[in-house]
Structure 1
Amino acid sequence: MYPFIRLGKTIAKSTLLQLQGKTLAPTDTSEISFVSGIHDIDNFLEMNNGRIFTLFDLGRTDFAIRTGLGKKLLANRWGLVVAGSSIQYRKRVRLFDKITIKTRLCAIDERWFYIEQTMYNQGTPSSQALLRTGVTNLMTGKTIPTQTVLTAIGHGDLLMPADDWVAAWIAADKLRNFPID
């Protein structure tokens, strides 16, 4: 089940931080923390890999709210979309482990925002994801150009070319055949 209670807490806390002036620039790193609960654990007594991806949603929610994007999403009837992702798992997360998720924007092109997210288990990196994300018009479903989004949040001059490893992932993903059947 989706962690709606954690989502609500994340939205409330992030909004409060933003109202207190603890905002983030798009080049800053968002950080949220929580404790792994029984609802996160699978039959191997560790955090389920799908749950890790779901919890990364919360990190992106905090990042969006604290950069001011959250308000623009509501005002412009925009939404967020994940168009691609890759993840590596390195360390197990067990019941009651203290987890921190760090979220940062690592590249921008004309259509997509590339986000790197890392989950830390008691201070040690346990998993890392790279995501291709976008902002969409909720009425049409079309992707909003990144320049339009950046201008809306007051950072229209921001350029962020991809590091080599991100560029390699982007190039490799373009080679992938998506099934048409």
Structure 2
Amino acid sequence: MVRIGTKLVPIRTNSRPTMNLYLRLLWALWRAWRQPRIQPGDTIERTFRVLPNDLDLNGHMNNGRYLTMLDLMLIEYFVRFGFFGLMIKQGWRPMAGGSFITYRRGLKPFQRYTLRFRTEGSNEHWNFMRFEFHDGERLCAAGYVKGAVVGKRGLVPNAQSCALLGWEQDTRVPTPVAHWLAGEEALMAQPWHA
């Protein structure tokens, strides 16, 4: 219920958009287990279509939906390079620590687009993954997301997870990510002024 003036008005919800996301999640898992294994740093691509429940009031894909689709790619990426199984075995949970995205062109209803994704570096706990949305030949949006895994004692060091997987950790931090991290640190240190 929400109060409008002096009246309480019931809020109606529609479960279809949520159900659609669960179906996309199940589809992503099913596809990932059927795809060949990859190595960290490999690029994966997946083509999607803008569905009606992806739209905002302006008639193009909602800005939040870009990150939702990115979550599906993260799941596929983890499954395809074996990290998903390790997380389950160790009792770890994946966690996004932030993202930045730049939008250049809107995606319209029923338009096909390709999402490209890869890991480009890491530090002690965070992995930095680049993503791009293309509508064929044009870049529509691009950015980075940082992710880590959480265990019973907090963030799991990348050195530990890489050792368990038999990989050498890529400790490069891409230049755009270094600027983002510096901006993030400054933002979190700055008090809110009313």
For the pair 1:14 / 2:37, whether they are aligned, the reply is: no
Matched, 1:47 2:71: no
Conservation of the 8 A alpha-carbon contact between 1:46 and 1:93: yes
SS of the aligned residue for 2:155 comes to coil
Q: Which stretches in structure 2 are left out of the alignment for 5+ residues?
A: 1-16
Q: Which residue of 1 aligns with 2:5?
A: none
Residue number in structure 1 paired with 2:174: 163
User: 1:68-104 CA deviation, whole Å, 9 max, x = no partner?
Assistant: 1111111111111111111100011011111111111
User: Equivalent residue of 1:103, what SS?
Assistant: strand
Residue 70 of structure 1 is matched in structure 2 by 84
Query: For the residues of structure 2 that align with 1:123 and 1:74, how far apart are their CA atoms?
Result: 38
Give the CA deviation at 1:180. 8.3
Bigger mean CA deviation after superposition, 96-105 or 162-171: 162-171
Gaps of at least 5 residues in structure 1 are none
Equivalent-residue separation in structure 1 for 2:161 and 2:191 (angstroms):
31
Q: What percentage of residue pairs aligned between the two structures are identical?
A: 21
- Please, which of 129, 145, 148 is the counterpart of residue 134 of structure 1? 148
- Normalised by the length of structure 1, the TM-score is 0.89
Query: What is the CA-CA distance between 1:160 and the residue it aligns to?
Result: 3.2
Amino acid at match of 2:166: G
| Alignment check: 8 A CA contact 2:44 2:77 kept | yes
Look up the SS of the partner of 1:63 in the other structure: helix
Q: CA RMSD in A?
A: 1.8
Amino acid at match of 2:184: D
User: Which has the higher mean CA deviation after the structures are superposed, 74-83 or 166-175?
Assistant: 166-175
> How does 1:58-137 map onto structure 2 within 5 Å?
58-137=72-151
2:155 partner amino acid: T
Equivalent position amino acid for 2:144 in 1: L
Q: Deviations over 1:46-77 (max 9, x none)?
A: 00001111111011111111111111111111
Q: In the alignment, residue 60 of structure 2 is paired with which amino acid?
A: E
What TM-score comes out, normalization by structure 2 length?
Answer: 0.83
Amino acid at match of 2:146: R
Contact preservation (8 Å) 2:158, 2:169: no
C-alpha distance in structure 1 between counterparts of 2:179 and 2:116, whole Å: 22
For residue 38 of structure 2, give the secondary structure of its aligned residue in structure 1: coil
